[in-house]
Amino acid sequence: MKKILLPNGLKVSEVALGAMNFGTSTSKEEAYRVLDAYMDMGGNLIDTSNNYAHWAGTGDESETMLGEWLSDRGCRDRVILATKVGFDRHGEGAGLKKKQIEYWVDESLRKMRTDYIDLYFAHTDDPSTPLEETMEAFHSLVTKGKVRTLGASNYDTWRMAEANATALSRGLTPYTVMQQRLSYLYPRSNVAPKYVFNEIANRERLRFLRDKNMPLMSYASLCKGAYENPDLLPEEYEGGKRLEFIRAMAADKGVNPSALVIAWLTNIHRLEGYPRVIPLFSCTPEQLIQNARGLETELSDEELALMDSI
């Protein structure tokens, strides 16, 4: 698995492994199998949050299990570790006030048995807190060495631009990575996101990121298995012609449809108006092997243009 040098200095694998369900619906044994397989393939970017998966447990499970695995394997120096702060977890933790950020970063460090986080995300925007307070709090974590780089997830584009303008005007650390939903399928215009800022990335957002030379970590990039089983298609996505096309093209290339989606996402920066995209997904070890074939699937400029035009 090739590595990408991001503008913020992090050297990461082309795809990121999601650890959302580790410790809840994914057992310790299965989580270790996935993590080991991912690392054996050359992956190094692992994504979690301080509230995963609170709907199935306390919200501590994923970070705690990652900490156990990092300790058991002694591989912290080979992992780019990403986690987040800002979303609710059983009525606590929501928000990006200084005291919340400072409290939850220490909780994440404790659970993951590490003294630094490579990429720390604001999990969602907090319009009730001044941007100055949020960005100053994040910057203090960087100056203390608790965090290396910053990212923003579930932000409106204009709010992220304002946050970075605030940071740069005050000599603070800006956000350098965006995490937002993106897949090959088009979103339905008449379906609202589950959360206020939980939008699927549109072309305006992608042009913004391209202009700012900022990578996108695309979560839910494989539509919960819908490319293999259209019955699983989330209601916020359109199926139709694009889904039929990607499934047929995948069959022609001898890979599963999810692998072709990964090939698409990791190559669309070659097209005008698209940033570098790092697909983020959860999987079993067997799915990981199949999906990673997308990283070896060649797409010509003509094929990329055709895929974009459907």
User: Are 276 and 215 a contacting pair, CB within 8 Å?
Assistant: yes
Determine how many CB atoms are found less than 10 A away from the CB of residue 16.
25
- Residue 215's pLDDT is 98
> 164: Cβ–Cβ under 8 A, 6 or more apart, which residues?
174, 175
- For the record, the structure tokens of 24 come out as 């809840």
Question: Catalytic residue positions?
Answer: 52
Q: pLDDT tens digits, residue range 101-155?
A: 999 999 999 999 999 999 999 999 999 999 999 999 999 999 999 999 999 999 9
Rg (CA), the chain: 19
- For the record, the structure tokens of 309 come out as 């035009």
- Residue 195's pLDDT is 85
> What distance lies between CA 172 and its chain's CA centroid?
23
Best CA proximity match to 83, nearest among 138, 114, 122: 122
Query: At residue 196, does pLDDT exceed 90?
Result: no
- Residue 126's pLDDT is 98
- Residue 194's pLDDT is 86
User: Cα separation of 84 and 43, whole Å?
Assistant: 20
Q: Which range marks the domain in which residue 12 is found?
A: 3-309
Mean of per-residue pLDDT scores for the chain: 97
Q: pLDDT tens digits, residue range 206-221?
A: 999 999 999 999 999 9
- Residue 219's pLDDT is 97
CATH number of the domain within which 263 lies = 3.20.20.100
The two beta strands, 216-219 and 11-13, are unpaired
Q: pLDDT tens digits, residue range 237-253?
A: 999 999 999 999 999 99
Q: 145: left (phi > 0), else alpha (psi -120 to 50), else beta?
A: left
pTM (predicted TM-score): 0.97
| Mean pLDDT (whole number) for 191-217 | 95
At 159, the pLDDT band (50, 70, 90 cuts) reads: very high
User: Cα separation of 96 and 113, whole Å?
Assistant: 23
> 229: Cβ–Cβ under 8 A, 6 or more apart, which residues?
none
- For the record, the structure tokens of 225 come out as 């298995």
- For the record, the structure tokens of 117 come out as 């986080």
**How many structural domains does the chain have?**
1
User: Cα separation of 301 and 286, whole Å?
Assistant: 30
- Residue 80's pLDDT is 98
Query: At residue 299, does pLDDT exceed 90?
Result: yes
Q: pLDDT tens digits, residue range 28-69?
A: 999 999 999 999 999 999 999 999 999 999 999 999 999 999
At 86, the pLDDT band (50, 70, 90 cuts) reads: very high
Element (H, E) at 19: none
Query: At residue 296, does pLDDT exceed 90?
Result: yes
Element (H, E) at 215: none
User: Are 206 and 212 a contacting pair, CB within 8 Å?
Assistant: no
Alpha helices in 41-179 (DSSP H): 61-73, 98-112, 131-143, 157-169
